[in-house]
């Protein structure tokens, strides 16, 4: 028996995905969190869409679209450039899109 939802800690990540993909999502959750260690960030929300594309929200509030190809490789590149592009301005990031084969897009929040 699981504990009542009201007793869950706010630090537990939320998952959303197609039925039967739980193990696959948990594997990617662990791999993504491992890659995020240098940023001192963790996944707070992980979604696998019906089209098998990945979306996530980090515990610093950044929303990310990662697509379905080379997800871990693209995330690894993002982690390397994060200090130069985002750095201490995570609060100003609205959205990051990693679906580009040779780069990424950052949408900043409006002032």
Counting the structural domains of the chain, the total is 1
Q: What is the pLDDT of residues 46-90, one digit of tens each?
A: 999 999 999 999 999 999 999 999 999 999 999 999 999 999 999
Does an H or E element contain 58, and which? Answer: strand 54-58
Does an H or E element contain 72, and which? Answer: helix 71-85
Assess if residue 52 is contained within a domain.
Answer: yes
Question: What span, in angstroms and rounded, lies between the C-alpha atoms of 30 and 74?
Answer: 16
As a whole number, the mean pLDDT across the chain is 90
Assess if residue 6 is contained within a domain.
Answer: no
List strand residue ranges (DSSP E) for 1-111, in order: 14-16, 43-48, 54-58, 63-67, 93-97, 105-108
Assess if residue 4 is contained within a domain.
Answer: no
User: Which distant-in-sequence residues (6+ apart) come within 8 Å of 22 by Cβ?
Assistant: 15
Question: What span, in angstroms and rounded, lies between the C-alpha atoms of 3 and 94?
Answer: 34
Neighbouring CB atoms inside 10 A of 10's CB total 6
Assess if residue 77 is contained within a domain.
Answer: yes
Assess if residue 5 is contained within a domain.
Answer: no
If you ran DSSP here, which 8-state letter would residue 7 be given?
Answer: G
Assess if residue 29 is contained within a domain.
Answer: yes
Give the domain extent around 58: 12-108
CB-CB contact of 74 with 67 (8 Å): yes
Assess if residue 1 is contained within a domain.
Answer: no
Report the percentage of the chain scoring pLDDT > 70. 91
Q: What is the CATH number of the domain that holds 39?
A: 3.40.50.11690
């Amino acid at each position: 028996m699981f504990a009542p939802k009201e007793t869950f800690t706010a630090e537990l990540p939320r998952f959303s995905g197609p039925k039967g993909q739980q193990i696959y999502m948990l594997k990617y959750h662990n791999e993504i969190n491992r890659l995020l260690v240098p940023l001192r960030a963790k996944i707070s929300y992980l979604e696998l869409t019906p089209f098998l594309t990945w979306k996530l929200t980090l515990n610093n509030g950044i929303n990310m679209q990662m697509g379905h190809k080379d997800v871990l490789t693209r995330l690894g590149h993002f982690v390397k450039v994060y200090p130069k592009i985002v750095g201490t301005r995570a609060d100003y990031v609205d959205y990051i899109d990693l679906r580009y084969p040779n780069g990424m897009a950052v949408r900043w929040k409006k002032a």
